[in-house]
Amino acid sequence: MQLDLFSDAADLTAAIVDIESVSRDEKALADAVEEALRALPHLTVDRDGNTVVARTDLGHAERVVLAGHLDTVPLNGNLPSRVEGDRLYGCGTTDMKSGVAVALRLAATIPAPTRDVTYVFYECEEIEAEHNGLKRLAAGRPELLRGDFAVLMEPTGGQIEGGCQGTLRVEVTAKGERAHSARSWMGSNAIHTAGQILDVLRAYEPSRPVVDGLEYHEGLNAVFIRGGVAGNVIPDECVVTVNYRFAPDKSPAEAEEYVRGVFAGFHVEVTDSASAARPGLTHPAAAAFVKAADAPVRAKLGWTDVARFDELGIPAVNYGPGEPTLAHTKDEYVELPLIADCERRMRSFLIATPAV
Ligand SMILES: [Zn+2]
């Protein structure tokens, strides 16, 4: 299937949505994207698996990276796409093929941007990180992601969402001693002791750090609890899994140190962690983007792939036409006027005079 990058953004979104691309099955869409981009003489195109990178090389001092994932969550009887009024329905319309369509339109129609631009269309964002195309590029071919500022065109409802919060998961263990429940005083009940862990969580007051002018909102919550041996045994262990969502004023190491301090006296084991990303809005390219896009700016509270750019030292924001609360739903849709609006704002950024 061929994509016409010069058709309007709404039609292009529908065409992309109709090329099924559930995670790990993005080849057909990646082929179509690659073919359409290779037809544009002002772009250098690279392909890595089902991830496609296209760049202008005009020798500008600054380079902007626009990125979007090609994959979707599994279908739910929601293909092919259909238009109803101002809405385009279908799997991936909001998350995030409308953002991909905008990036492709910009790639095709702005041969001479005022900053060099790298367009990244990558695979496997919706599944385990080990398959993530952006992660693989960052590790294996970081030169392809080089840039001064990145915009990840995930659904944000047209708002600019700066940076992202980090996440840390730990297992906090309360210890006890087994005994027959008929003689419970001979043992020590670990589930009862775990009440102290829950007390800490209940009393926790989330801080709201301000980073680069944006207010984040931390969270410390129990997400699992396990314990118990048998119906007549005093349990000797109870494990509470705690998820800490932390703002970009902390590194994962600092987040770990903080959580260990909160649960001092208990055994704490880290099972998963991902760093936060600073919004970096003080960078001139980022500031120019905020000015050109002229859209509200808020902190991103969830974890997104902007953190992968942050790890490469590239400030990044999320900005896209989709409505995030519709992502992954059966009735997912995107408002067609918002696609055109996002494209117009991005266009004014890419052709704006760069700060010297
Ligand atoms: Zn997404």
Domain count, the chain: 2
Last residue of a domain, one of 274, 308, 335: 274
What is the Cα–Cα distance from 211 to 5, expressed in whole angstroms? 38
The domain in which residue 247 lies consists of: 166-274
C-alpha of residue 126 to centroid of ligand 1, in Å: 7
Asked whether residue 1 is domain-assigned, the answer is no
Tokens coding 296 = 């509200």
Q: Are 297 and 148 found together in one domain?
A: yes
Separation in Å, CA 100 to CA 30, 84, 103, 140, 294: 12, 21, 5, 23, 21
Q: Are 135 and 209 found together in one domain?
A: no
Q: Are 208 and 150 found together in one domain?
A: no
What is the Cα–Cα distance from 166 to 185, expressed in whole angstroms? 43
Asked whether residue 158 is domain-assigned, the answer is yes
Asked whether residue 109 is domain-assigned, the answer is yes
The phi-psi region of residue 349 (left if phi > 0; otherwise alpha if psi is between -120 and 50; otherwise beta) is: alpha
C-alpha of residue 35 to centroid of ligand 1, in Å: 23
Q: Are 239 and 156 found together in one domain?
A: no
Asked whether residue 50 is domain-assigned, the answer is yes
CA nearest to 115, candidates 61, 41, 42: 61
C-alpha of residue 100 to centroid of ligand 1, in Å: 10
C-alpha of residue 201 to centroid of ligand 1, in Å: 31
Q: Are 140 and 285 found together in one domain?
A: yes
Asked whether residue 303 is domain-assigned, the answer is yes
Give the CA angle between residues 170, 172, 173 to the nearest 5°. 145
Last residue of a domain, one of 212, 243, 274: 274
Q: Are 172 and 64 found together in one domain?
A: no
Asked whether residue 84 is domain-assigned, the answer is yes
C-alpha of residue 269 to centroid of ligand 1, in Å: 30
C-alpha of residue 308 to centroid of ligand 1, in Å: 14
Q: Are 103 and 221 found together in one domain?
A: no
Q: Are 18 and 129 found together in one domain?
A: yes
Q: Is 219 helix (H, G, I), strand (E, B) or coil?
A: strand
N-to-C CA span, the chain: 43
C-alpha of residue 95 to centroid of ligand 1, in Å: 5
- Secondary structure letter of residue 113 according to DSSP: -
Query: From the CA atom positions of the chain, what is the Rg in Å?
Result: 23
Q: Are 126 and 231 found together in one domain?
A: no
Asked whether residue 355 is domain-assigned, the answer is no
pLDDT tens track of the chain, all 356 residues?
799 999 999 999 999 999 999 999 999 999 999 999 999 999 999 999 999 999 999 999 999 999 999 999 999 999 999 999 999 999 999 999 999 999 999 999 999 999 999 999 999 999 988 999 999 999 999 999 999 999 999 999 999 999 999 999 999 999 999 999 999 999 999 999 999 999 999 999 999 999 988 999 999 999 999 999 999 999 999 999 999 999 999 999 999 999 999 999 999 999 999 999 988 888 888 999 999 999 999 999 888 899 999 989 998 999 999 999 999 999 999 999 999 999 999 999 999 876 55
CATH code for the domain in which residue 50 is found:
3.40.630.10
Q: Are 320 and 299 found together in one domain?
A: yes
C-alpha of residue 328 to centroid of ligand 1, in Å: 9
C-alpha of residue 340 to centroid of ligand 1, in Å: 19
Catalytic residues: 71, 125
Asked whether residue 3 is domain-assigned, the answer is no
Last residue of a domain, one of 241, 274, 307: 274
Q: Are 33 and 141 found together in one domain?
A: yes
Q: Are 183 and 262 found together in one domain?
A: yes
6-64 pLDDT, tens digit each: 999 999 999 999 999 999 999 999 999 999 999 999 999 999 999 999 999 999 999 99
CATH code for the domain in which residue 266 is found:
3.30.70.360
Give the CA angle between residues 23, 26, 31 to the nearest 5°. 170
